A and B are shown apart, each in its own frame.
Chain A
Amino acid sequence: KQEVTQIPAALSVPEGENLVLNCSFTDSAIYNLQWFRQDPGKGLTSLLLIQSSQREQTSGRLNASLDKSSGRSTLYIAASQPGDSATYLCAVTGANSKLTFGKGITLSVRP
């Protein structure tokens, strides 16, 4: 059974700092990995999707990497801003097309 772990559960950083959010998964037989953003009481917004054959994806200040063999992914946020404060979830799609989510990392960027 696939398990997705995100540690730490919460993170607080000052504005402007570059930061890395980590995600690990137990079964490397994945179809893709996605990073999502969730604001309190809201749905999810897909940030980046990395196919299993890819190693990284970039969008603006965000860069996500994938090391499938070691079961790890990182989300890099450059020059963090207070507006980046949210919960960031990673999820992997298995061969059955189902997503398995981590519990998320709640990020707080202090002005």
Chain B
Amino acid sequence: GAVVSQHPSRVICKSGTSVKIECRSLDFQATTMFWYRQFPKQSLMLMATSNEGSKATYEQGVEKDKFLINHASLTLSTLTVTSAHPEDSSFYICSAHLIVGEKLFFGSGTQLSVL
């Protein structure tokens, strides 16, 4: 089946630093990828839709200057958490459709801990 690779799986950083998370579709091309955030025992919340070659579409309440998304190729989307603070500590997951409207394939997630 389709594979979505997400890296790194875990990152610990100091407050004020920026962290980049990569999401790759390994065996298919994804014009659209999705970035989610998940707090413990909570549901996944869609942060933004990453569109290849154009600007990402952010959900209401998500700061686009805080969470920078770049989708420069059909197989790679990156999420950069800029000037991270402890409240940004969360589990971030990306996903992509193999075929639009069909199953979503998810990366393995990135646990971000900001000290």
Residues in chain A within 8 A of chain B (CB atoms): 4, 9, 31-32, 34, 36, 41-46, 49, 89, 91, 93, 97-99, 101-104
Contact = CB atoms under 8 A, between A and B. Distances in A.
Interface stretch (B13-21, B41-49, B62-70, B82-90): B41-49
A28 to B, nearest CB: 18
B101 A43 contact: no
A76 to B, nearest CB: 19
Contacts of A43: 4, 6, 93, 106-109
A32 B41 CA distance: 24
A105 to B, nearest CB: 11
Given A34-B104, A49-B103, A99-B104, A89 B44 contact: yes
Query: Secondary structure at chain B's binding surface: helix, strand, loop or mixed?
Result: strand
Interface string B71-115: 000000000000000000001010100001111111111010000
A49 B105 CA distance: 12
Contacts of A98: 46, 49
Nearest to B100: A97
Given A31-B101, A97-B100, A99-B104, A41 B111 contact: yes
22 contacts: A4-B43, A9-B41, A32-B101, A36-B106, A41-B109, A42-B108, A43-B93, A43-B106, A43-B109, A44-B93, A44-B106, A46-B106, A89-B44, A97-B100, A97-B101, A99-B34, A99-B44, A99-B104, A101-B44, A101-B45, A103-B41, A104-B43
A42 B91 CA distance: 9
